[in-house]
């Protein structure tokens, strides 16, 4: 991955801290349409009721997410991502975040099994898309398309666009990860509106936001290692990065 800026040059790009979330900080830059994102080393789960710090985690999520957004752009999926600028920072286009978490599931696990009592680890006959309302105060409650549209969080057209991009990303990433021996179990996407009102993929795509299982062993290579106290969280993130970087963008 191309590293083009020294830490001092990156600090210079950051103007004002606009937002600090659980895993990232967002700064304004001298361009009103461009933001600087800093990936933090903090790990949180269960709406930050469980927290830890792992040195190097921000770097890994930054390089993994930058790699995936770059690869998706080559496949025709646009996102807010502009470029990686150093180990833990990337530049993104400013978008107005749509307050929906879009979850795509290929295999049963996690909250789907808890909520519906279905068996873990079953391959679904087709992907399931779910929406949650992005609200820490409410613990990101599950909603449906009607809630999103009627309560004014997204238009009907935006919901249709989000679903269509989510399914395309799922198809592309399922193939990508299969090529490096990883089963893409499920993941969460976020979307935003750019200055022209176009819906763009946003946030990050990383082991924090996806469930990655080793195709053969079903070992967890994602944040479930932290959620379930399985140990070696960083080793799992490093393994995802090792496989993606060894594969290369062009294969």
- Residue with nearest beta carbon to ligand 5GP: 110
Cβ closest to ligand 5GP, residue 83 vs residue 227 = 227
* Cβ neighbours, 10 Å, residue 58: 22
Q: Kindly tell me which of 210 and 240 has the beta carbon lying closer to ligand 5GP.
A: 210
C-beta of 89 vs 105, nearer to ligand 5GP: 105
Q: Which residues bind ligand 5GP (CB under 6 A)?
A: 101, 103, 110-112, 140, 186-188, 208-211, 223
State the Cα–Cα distance between residues 206 and 76, nearest whole angstrom. 19
**What is the smallest separation between the CB atom of 168 and ligand 5GP, expressed in angstroms?**
18
Query: Cα–Cα distance between 133 and 141 in angstroms, integer?
Result: 6
For 101-134, the DSSP string reads EEEEEEE--HHHHHHH-PPTTPEEEEEEEEEEE-
Q: How far is the CB of 235 from ligand 5GP (least distance, A)?
A: 18
Residue 15 C-beta: closest distance to ligand 5GP, Å: 27
Whose Cβ is closer to ligand 5GP: residue 31's or residue 219's? Answer: 219
CA-to-CA separations, 100 to 60, 79, 90, 199, in angstroms, rounded: 25, 16, 23, 12
The minimum distance between CB 87 and ligand 5GP, in angstroms, equals 20
CA-CA distance, 96 to 200, in Å (whole number)?
A: 10
């Amino acid at each position: 991955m191309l590293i083009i800026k020294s830490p001092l040059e990156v600090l210079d790009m950051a103007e004002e801290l606009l937002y600090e979330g659980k895993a990232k900080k967002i700064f304004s830059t001298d361009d009103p349409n461009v933001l600087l994102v800093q990936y933090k080393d903090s790990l949180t789960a269960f709406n930050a009721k469980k927290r830890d710090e792992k040195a190097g985690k921000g770097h890994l999520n930054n390089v993994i997410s930058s790699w995936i957004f770059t690869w998706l752009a080559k496949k025709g999926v646009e996102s807010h991502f502009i470029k990686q600028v150093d180990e833990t920072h990337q530049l993104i286009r400013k978008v107005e975040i749509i307050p929906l978490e879009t979850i795509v599931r290929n295999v049963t696990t996690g909250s789907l099994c808890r909520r519906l009592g279905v068996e873990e680890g079953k391959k679904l006959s087709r992907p399931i898309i779910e929406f949650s309302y992005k609200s820490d105060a409410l613990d990101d409650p599950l909603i449906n398309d009607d809630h999103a549209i009627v309560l004014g969080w997204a238009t009907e057209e935006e919901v249709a666009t989000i679903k269509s991009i989510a399914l395309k990303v799922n198809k592309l990433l399922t193939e990508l990860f299969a090529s490096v021996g990883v089963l893409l179990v499920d993941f969460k996407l976020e979307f935003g509106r750019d200055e022209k009102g176009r819906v763009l993929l946003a946030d990050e795509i990383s082991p924090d936001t996806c469930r990655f299982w080793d195709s053969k062993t079903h070992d967890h290579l994602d944040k479930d290692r932290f959620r379930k106290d399985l140990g070696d969280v960083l080793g799992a993130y490093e393994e995802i990065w090792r496989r993606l970087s060894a594969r290369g963008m062009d294969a």
